[in-house]
Amino acid sequence: MRLKSYRTAALAAVLTLAAAAPGWAQVKVGVVDFQQALLATAEMQKEASKLEQKYKPDQDRLEALSQELQGIQSKLQSASAEDAARLQLEGQEKQREAQRLTEDLQADIDFDRQQILEGGAQRMRAVIDELRASKALDLIVDVSSTLSYNSALDITSDATAAYDAKHPAAAE
């Protein structure tokens, strides 16, 4: 009995809300691809380039180690038993060095990238809030949490442009 009265009350509340819906003010919504907007900024492009340059020597060293390992592999195919043992040890050492370098490089890149993105994300959130106010929007949602939307609601490029205007990438 109690369940039936609860259902009746819930149905009455839904019908009341539905009847009142036409009287509500229209909600203005914008959709943004936050990640794309952030990564497309001049600042993030510049930071990506700086990261690439910063870690280029380590990446070059990894490539050199890979070539050395390939050289050792080809020598192993025609090596005597005595040389083969030495080459295998040398190859194992190079493999361990490459593994350590790969892990360290990945950890360093991940750390730097995370630091850059965290700062940029904070600035982008502030820019998007200012954009919401300037466009008189009530709500901005991220495209990742949206199933479907009219592309006219997309303000991703506006967010990138507003970010670039507010936070220009400094020339070095």
Confidence grade of residue 82 (pLDDT, cut at 50, 70, 90): confident
Q: Is the pLDDT of residue 166 over 70?
A: yes
Assigned token pair, 93: 């050492």
Q: Locate tokens 């280029």: which residue?
A: 56
CB 135 within 8 A of CB 31: no
For 31-58, what is each residue's pLDDT tens digit? Answer: 999 999 999 999 999 999 999 999 999 9
For the four alpha carbons of 129, 131, 137 and 142, in that order, the dihedral sign comes to: negative
**Percent of the chain, pLDDT > 90?**
72
User: What does the alpha-carbon distance between residue 40 and residue 163 come to, in Å, rounded to a whole number?
Assistant: 10
Mean pLDDT of the chain: 87
For 53-76, what is each residue's pLDDT tens digit? Answer: 999 999 999 999 999 999 989 888
Q: What is the pTM of this model?
A: 0.71
CB 144 within 8 A of CB 36: no
CB 30 within 8 A of CB 135: yes
Mean pLDDT of 91-110: 95
Coil, strand or helix: which one is 170?
Answer: coil
Burial of 137 (0-12, 13-18, 19+ CB in 10 A): middle
| pLDDT for 3 | 46
Q: Locate tokens 């690439």: which residue?
A: 52
